[in-house]
Structure 1
Amino acid sequence: MNGLGFTGGRLDRADPLRHDEPGFAAALADPAARLLILNEYQPVMAEGRLGWTAIAPDARPEDHVLLGIEDGVPHFARLVAEPAAGRSVEMIAALHALAAGEAATYAAARSVLDWHARHGFCARCGAATAPFRAGWGRRCPACGTEHFPRVDPVVIMIAEHDGRALLGRQPAFPPGRYSALAGFLEPGESIEEAVVRELFEEAGVRVRDVRYIASQPWPFPSSLMIACVATALDDRLAIDTTELEDAIWVSRDEVRAALAGDASRFGVPPAYAIAHTLLETWAR
């Protein structure tokens, strides 16, 4: 499936350099090397694209993450001291503007930089850790434990019944917006089992025949969205109001209208979100 937000990255992640400290240092010192320009975690755009600049002569390898290589040019991001905050109006505008491959590069950078900012101490012994593997890991000097960036899997799904799809609304959503239901996978659970559990917990809907549709990185802070469709046994709802403000069944015509910009009944998620793609796929 083409066109998913935060996918289609063009950088070669250059795994051999992650295991080659002299090679990593040489790549950082390469006069052609480029550094992603960020205002904290917000992309700084240049003519509608991600902004890049030259690497400072005194740059230290331990302060940088190798994002990858494109056309022989190493691309880096500099570590950020504080964890990422929410999405600003300016960031949302930038996400709408970014081309697919650039959005993927930004997503990788944001996720790994935020992971570093949140994991400065060893989960085993509590000692301060230090970056290694070209910024794709942290090592504890006290106990030797190695830590690596984690991705949290999330199922996002539509239950369908009699030609209608189940959509939900959280209080934090913009006015009028509805989306597919979603929830984190739990330990010891398959994707299919998570879909069944989440739909029942949030909306009281029993489902069968879970079908995988697509997946998408979601760098807020670092999730993998796994989109599915399932068949509901009936359309009775029992909404968990700690999770949802409302839930509705909508027809394909209503979804098509909302995707076309008619928000008379409900609005849809932005185009860079996989929920938008999931609705498009279901509507077809």
Structure 2
Amino acid sequence: MLGGFAFQDAPLDRADPLRDDPDALRRHWPDARLLVLDAQGRLAADAQGAALLLRGADVGGGPGTAVFLGLDGGGQAWFALEAGTLPAVAAGQWIDLRRAAALWPAAEAGAFAYARGMLYWHARNRYCGVCGGGVQFRRAGFVGHCAQCGNDHYPRVDPAVIMAVGDGERLLLGRQAGWAPRRWSVLAGFIEPGESPEQAVVREVHEETGVRVRACRYLGAQPWPFPGALMLGYQAFAEADPPRVSGELEEARWFTREEVGQALARDERAADGPLLAPSISIAHALIARWHAGEDASVTPA
């Protein structure tokens, strides 16, 4: 299976039964670890940039509207809450998730990603999408209930495919206009209703570049909380069609294995030459796997 990227580990036991047990959550609260995020989705950190993990006892009261994330290996509860629901938080700084994923231990970065996704969903679902009534969050933050029409709403995850497309000798990479200069990556796109992931791979590659995919194979997945996608990683084999761009891409082209190797070895601060997706992403892992020659098993049916 594919590995080596951020957010792939499960740092917490989500302990679903506890979401329906407010008494148990109150008992956990004093010793619980709290992840406090601001309105921009950044996490409170100390002056050195380490996660500022408050205890429930430091805040007082009980869980209230905090989102219960689960239990760690020692049985300690973790919660996420918005900074605006607390008195002033003495944070040395506020850390964004991309920076945390590159610097922090995997468990803490994974918990941050989980917390950010849940609070992002809360912030954008305060009103019912059916009738417009106000939403009340239940089950420790995992169900949004509309008191007006009775409908329940659940955390949203958007499935997407991301694929390393090769023709046997070269790798297809693209770049979007809004990216940093010289940044290239593999192609990706959201799965549409009534479509399988494999169908989405074929459609997205052809829509964006005109290249025809003949075979593909699933390799692994990454929760990508920017803001709430689940990236399903694929290796694909395609015809050596000349790329023509449309949609979000401003450019797409085939890269030789030598060019990909040079880009993988290139420092981010280099003055010239293509730069690839950052190492925290499944995109980087897919590129590195293709470069290592591990695409030979993906051949046309």
TM-score, normalising length: structure 2: 0.85
Q: 2:61 aligns with which of 43, 58, 63?
A: 58
Give 1:261's aligned residue: 266
Residue pair 1:168, 1:181 contacting (<8 A) in 2 also = yes
Q: What is the CA-CA distance between 1:144 and the residue it aligns to?
A: 1.7
From 68, 74, 78, the equivalent of 1:75 is 78
Aligned to 2:198: 192
State the match for 1:84 in structure 2: none
Bigger Cα displacement from structure 2, 11-20 vs 31-40: 31-40
CA distance in 2, matches of 1:212, 1:252: 21
1:37 counterpart residue number: 36
CA-to-partner distance for each residue in 1:190-224, whole Å, 9 max, x for gaps? 00000000000000011111111211000011000
Give, in whole Å, the separation in 2 of the partners of 1:7 and 1:215: 8
Give the Cα separation in 1 of the matches to 2:60 and 2:36.
16
The residue number in structure 1 matching 2:153 is: 147
Q: How far apart are the structure 2 equivalents of 1:69 and 1:49?
A: 20
SS across alignment from 2:178:
coil
Q: Which runs of 5+ in 2 are unaligned?
A: 85-93, 293-301
For residue 202 of structure 1, what is the aligned residue in structure 2?
A: 208
Q: Does 1:281 pair with 2:289?
A: yes
- 2:255 match: 250
Contact 1:45 1:94 in 2 (8 A): no
Task: Say which SS state the counterpart of residue 177 (structure 1) adopts.
Answer: coil
5+ long unaligned stretches in structure 1: 82-87
Aligned-pair identity (%) = 43
Cα distance between partner residues in 2 of 1:227 and 1:69: 29
Mapped to 1, the partners of 2:37 and 2:197 lie a distance apart of 35
Preserved contact between residue 65 and residue 79 of structure 1 (Cα < 8 Å): no
Deviation string, structure 1 residues 148-167 (Cα, Å, up to 9, x no partner): 10100111112211310000
Q: Which residue of 2 aligns with 1:116?
A: 122
**Contact 1:9–1:102, Cα closer than 8 Å, also in 2:** no
Correspondence 1:226 to 2:232: yes
Q: In 1, are the aligned partners of 2:166 and 2:237 still within 8 Å (CA)?
A: yes
Give yes or no for contact 2:15–2:70 (8 Å, CA) kept in 1: yes
Q: Which amino acid aligns with 1:94?
A: A
Contact 1:227 1:274 in 2 (8 A): yes
Please tell me the residue identity of whatever aligns with 2:290. W
Aligned pair in 2 of structure 1 residues 51, 89: CA closer, same or farther (>3 Å)?
closer
* Alpha-carbon separation, structure 1, partners of 2:19 and 2:99: 33
C-alpha displacement of 1:89: 8.8
TM-score, normalised to structure 1, is 0.90
Q: 1: CA distance between counterparts of 2:34 and 2:107?
A: 17
SS at match of 1:5: coil
Matched positions, count: 275
Alignment map for 1:127-166 (pairs within 5 Å): 127-166=133-172
Question: 2:242 is aligned with what amino acid?
Answer: R
Once the 2 structures are TM-superposed, how far is the Cα of residue 91 of structure 1 from its aligned partner?
A: 4.8
